[in-house]
Amino acid sequence: MTASLISQFLPVLSERYLVDENILVPELLARCDTLQPHQAAAERLATQIVEGIRAQKPRSMDINQLLVAYQLTSEEGIALMCVAEALLRIPDTQTRNALIRDKMSVTEWEASSAANPFQNFSTWALNLTGNVLHLQNKDSGWGVFGKLIARLGQPVIRTALEQAMRLMGNQFVLGETIDEAIANRRKHPYPHATASYDMLGEGARTINDAARYFQAYETAIHAVGKAKMGDSISIKLSALHPRYEWRKPDRIRHELFHSVFKLCAIAKAYDLMVTIDAEEMDRLVPSLELFEMLARTPELSGWNGLGLAVQAYGKRCTQALEFVIALARDTRRIIPTRLVKGAYWDSEIKRAQVEGHENYPVFTRKSTTDVSYLAGAQLMLSAPDAIYPQFATHNAMTAAMIMQIVGDKKYEFQRLHGMGDNLYESLSAVLGRPVPYRIYAPVGPHHDLLAYLVRRLLENGANSSFVYQIADKNIPVKKMLDNPVQFTANLSDKLHPKISLPPDIFGAERKNSFGPLLPEPMMRDKLIKDIQKFLLQPYEAAPIIDGKSLTGVRQTKYDPSDNRRALGTSIDCTTDDVARAMEVAHHTQHEWDKMGGAARGKILARAADLFEFHMPQLVALIVREGGRTLQSAINDFREAVDFLRYYGAQAAREFETPVRLPGPTGEQNELWLRGRGVFVCIAPWNFPLAIFTGQATAALAAGNSVIAKPAGQTPMVAHYAVKLLHQAGVPTGVLHFTPGSGSALGKVFVESKYT
């Protein structure tokens, strides 16, 4: 194979990034056909596992019971997360007290009869807070004794809650330092279990942050290597560089690579396994590219400790695994590969909606992620010469199915520290032999815990989670062991019915603005080529009065980022031009208003579609004339499209039919909304398309005619927008484009009898 395997995989990775689930899922289901003969045996084993777990005596530190007591869909669960955020992040006592009073006094904490000190202590602290603060908030009746409790209560409450949160922290963090974590690891009662240590933190924001994380990883590798316990290290690339993002490929290939290589070289000297953790979907290709660079580095050859985590909820999971298999064979190594279901689902869904993508990079149904996981597990087990499979799961059905297909191949399970230990104890007991598993063990101070803790609780606190269900004995075992392959195959629509695609998040009223998928290299390169092609020709922005482009003195416009580069020319209006535009706008406004809100709304909707069709041209002008970055220009463009669709929808809803008002019997009172006349819209330069379009569109939607004056710095962007609005159907007599000096034209605007 060539030196760049990732380049061969880019087309399929691009194709699968946002692929329709109704296209992709049948393919994954077909991959799982070979599991059917093992289904009955897997269900029997899973049933035994669950029954074994439920027969175990509850531990004093059982997070499962807390998740059942305080579901994240309940007021208590939400308040608990608020408290965690407050107490682990806020540095000063006064602010902590204020937030505790605000969030805790209105919540009723249910008393628990469970014999679980962890849960009961948390409940006691939360109840104490709520009751005392509720007493404080009463206007009367609490007297001297109440005042005394209130005065003594705040430090007591704060201490109790902090201790409760730290108790939760200890549940998830093996130690605040690597030495403490290793010492705690030695106390682990299961000698067949190993650990993978991860430094707590959610990514470097500065070079100093990255240096601190690097030092922590380096110290950990030396400590774990010297301990000789068979443990490993997990590394987050985002912790080692503040600009680990698709926009900075050169810095990833040089600066970030250098840091990761140094850590891997130290780990190789100890024959220590290092796993590159999976992060957000827009970082998949950069991470695979960097991973290939590491695998091809001569200094790391012959080392089978270079590992990678792959997320099953991503639509490119199988392609990522195929890449790993091909890379392993090409570099003659075995790659430890951790298959996880994924930890950023909620943010992936939200980001796709906010950024206006065509679809989601992750599956919208949990069952489909389970199918993807099983398909990935089969693929990993089919390549024992290339992959050492590591299956991260807390789900009994998933573990049981893997046990049916693993055969005599080498493998291990993985679980999070503080969760899932009862699953693997029960599995080992049922099988009559120890099951090899590795504990993913975060290390770090509790004030770095919050984001990790929130992800864990969101993953496992939902009532669809196996971890949640296993602790609730009211849920029948059979319900917990549904076959995800059969369930998913029976779905007529693989997309979750309650999760609209990003273009449809605003419902029937309007469509979301389209945003190109910039993190994807092939899509990004095409957009950039279209932009560059448009910029080859100089652009001219001339006044447009009553549909006619005017002539005049041409002024050369230069790129503000490079004053040597001419973009084209612009022509300013004269005061006579503006006066004529005012008169035409006045005479055409009435017919535009009579057209009705629904008809105007359709025109503005067509304009939005035209804007999107001409996105490369508009973005090109925003970048060059406005001096904006590509992402900033796209944001400006999308806001303009949203304005067009929003005001178009408002026109149809508010300006088409009258609103009937209440009144005395026998009277019929109606409210009609109408245009007022001629509006002068003067836009600034900082959002040359969005603000210009938003001002004009709002006035047009309401039935007014518009004199649109762009900023002197950005007439070209506005000129292109006006041409598209005319093309969409806005009458040329209703919308006029009047570039020019504000000091010269302002007096005409203000003193005109038509404004």
Residue 311 CA to residue 362 CA, distance in Å, equals 9
Looking at residue 141, what is its pLDDT? 36
Residue 158 CA to residue 137 CA, distance in Å, equals 17
Could you give the percent of the chain with pLDDT greater than 70? 81
Tell me the angle at which helices 117-137 and 93-104 cross, rounded to the nearest 10 degrees: 90
DSSP sequence for 89-129: H--SHHHHHHHHHHHHTT-PPPP--SS-HHHHHHHHHHHHH
Q: Measure Cα distances from 349 to 357, 364, 454 in Å.
A: 10, 8, 17
pLDDT of residue 163 exceeding 70, the answer is no
Q: Which two tokens stand for residue 56?
A: 């175990």
Residue 745 CA to residue 683 CA, distance in Å, equals 14
Of 334-338, 416-420, 582-586, 606-610, least confident by mean pLDDT is 416-420
The angle subtended at Cα 100 by Cα 98 and Cα 102, nearest 5°, is 70
Confidence of residue 567 (pLDDT cuts 50, 70, 90): very high
Whether 415 contacts 440, CB under 8 Å: yes
The DSSP letter of residue 735 is E
Residue 540 CA to residue 717 CA, distance in Å, equals 10
Residue 483 CA to residue 39 CA, distance in Å, equals 8
SS3 of residue 420 by DSSP: coil
* Secondary structure tally for the chain: helices H, strands E: 30, 18
Looking at residue 192, what is its pLDDT? 79
The DSSP letter of residue 655 is S
Confidence of residue 311 (pLDDT cuts 50, 70, 90): very high
Structural domains of the chain, with CATH: 5-57+190-443+477-504 (3.20.20.220), 62-173+449-473 (no CATH), 521-751 (3.40.605.10)
Looking at residue 125, what is its pLDDT? 39
Q: Which two tokens stand for residue 124?
A: 């006691």
Average pLDDT, integer, range 703-732: 97
Residue 224 CA to residue 226 CA, distance in Å, equals 5
Residue 194 CA to residue 214 CA, distance in Å, equals 23
Residue 73 CA to residue 428 CA, distance in Å, equals 33
**Per-residue three-class SS string for 444-472:** CCHHHCHHHHHHHHHHHHCCCCHHHHHHC
Confidence of residue 77 (pLDDT cuts 50, 70, 90): low
Spatial neighbors of 526 by CB under 8 A, at least 6 apart, are: none
Looking at residue 738, what is its pLDDT? 96
pLDDT of residue 432 exceeding 90, the answer is yes
Residue 687 CA to residue 683 CA, distance in Å, equals 8
Average pLDDT, integer, range 577-598: 95
Looking at residue 663, what is its pLDDT? 83
Helix (H) or strand (E) holding 320: helix 317-330
SS3 of residue 558 by DSSP: strand
Beta-strand pair 669-671/659-661? antiparallel
pLDDT of residue 413 exceeding 90, the answer is yes
Mean pLDDT of all residues belonging to the chain: 86
Q: Which two tokens stand for residue 491?
A: 């779905």
Q: Which has more confidence, 313 or 84?
A: 313
Residue 499 CA to residue 519 CA, distance in Å, equals 23
SS3 of residue 74 by DSSP: coil
Of 109-113, 306-310, 438-442, 714-718, least confident by mean pLDDT is 109-113
The pLDDT tens digits of the residues spanning 316-335 come to 999 999 999 999 999 999 99
Q: Which has more confidence, 385 or 457?
A: 385
Whether 109 contacts 123, CB under 8 Å: yes
Confidence of residue 664 (pLDDT cuts 50, 70, 90): confident
Residue 673 CA to residue 695 CA, distance in Å, equals 18
Helix (H) or strand (E) holding 680: strand 678-682
SS3 of residue 701 by DSSP: helix
Burial pattern 407-425, b for ≥16 Cβ within 10 A else e, equals eeeebbbbbbbbbbbbbbb
Instruction: Please give the order of strands across the beta sheet that includes 562-571.
Output: 539-541, 562-571, 554-559
pTM listed for this prediction: 0.86
Average pLDDT, integer, range 88-109: 55
Looking at residue 417, what is its pLDDT? 87
The pLDDT tens digits of the residues spanning 443-455 come to 988 666 656 665 6
Looking at residue 233, what is its pLDDT? 97
Residue 618 CA to residue 635 CA, distance in Å, equals 12
